[in-house]
Structure 1
Amino acid sequence: MSKELYRDTANGKLSGVCAGVAHYFGMEVWLVRILVISAFLLGGNFLVLLAYIALSFMLEKQPANYVESIKSQQEHKLKNKPWQAGQSPERLLDTLERDMASLEGKVRDIEAYVTSDTFKVNREFSKL
């Protein structure tokens, strides 16, 4: 799925512009907020305010299915630097162990079906 820039109103404080920009660039939301506030306080008052308002009107609201796709991508992403979005190595290992346990159960179910008499009967009927 290609990256698109949306307003993330679910994780946003005002209109979701900072959260959307953070997701687009793969950064933590808190860092983007600090950068915007710092730029505002350090002299870019009018430009930062104008850009934020313009983006809040120009960017579309994030669709519901987009949130799930981002979440599934970030669940398995390792955070190398503090400002990157993702998980710490410990949490990522826990997530991967949980996913592998779930997959192991599914593989066991498939093996049980393939070795059962039901599978053999269904295969014979499909050959007719």
Structure 2
Amino acid sequence: MNRTELYRDPINGKISGVCAGLANYFAIEVWLVRILFISAFLLGGSFLVLLTYAAMTLMIEKQPANYVESIKVQQEHKLKNKPWQQGQTPESLLNTIEKDLHQLEEQVRDLEAYVTSDRFQVDREFKSL
């Protein structure tokens, strides 16, 4: 999956959209990011959390108008996402996950083939020089 760009999401945000933007970036639910910020605030890092939030509000740009449509293609499934609310059937969600796992398995096979090859040993020896 290609990494998306980090933008603030003031449309879905409560204050300035920093948590919503982080949730879009990491493809997780917004409430989870908000819980993390609030927990860090309550557990003694109040000044640091406020400073970080204010800095992120000033440094991160607002998301473009067509940004949501462009990332939906990349985020076919999310952590803690309910497929029936997204409009995706459980079968299609399982097919998507199976496709992703198949791609990961191919990458692991390629990596194993490289690590067990003579080329890896030669590259390793050159790096150690």
Q: TM-score when scaled to structure 2?
A: 0.61
Q: Give the Å deviation of 1:65.
A: 1.2
Structure 2 runs not aligned, ≥5 long: 93-129
Q: Take 1:66 and 1:8, find their aligned partners in 2: how far apart are those partners? A: 10
Alignment pair present for 1:92 and 2:88: yes
**Alignment root-mean-square deviation, CA:** 2.4
Q: TM-score when scaled to structure 1?
A: 0.61
Q: Take 1:85 and 1:7, find their aligned partners in 2: how far apart are those partners? A: 21
Spell out structure 1 runs of 4+ moving beyond 2 A. Answer: 71-74, 85-91
Q: Which residue of 1 aligns with 2:62?
A: 61
Q: Take 1:48 and 1:2, find their aligned partners in 2: how far apart are those partners? A: 25
Q: Which residue of 2 aligns with 1:125?
A: none
Structure 1 runs not aligned, ≥5 long: 97-128
> Per the alignment, in what secondary structure is the counterpart of residue 66 of structure 2?
helix
Q: Supply the AA of the counterpart residue of 1:52.
A: Y
Q: Which residue of 1 aligns with 2:34?
A: 33
Contact conserved, 1:9 with 1:61, CA < 8 A, in 2?
yes
Aligned length: 90
Q: Take 1:6 and 1:55, find their aligned partners in 2: how far apart are those partners? A: 10
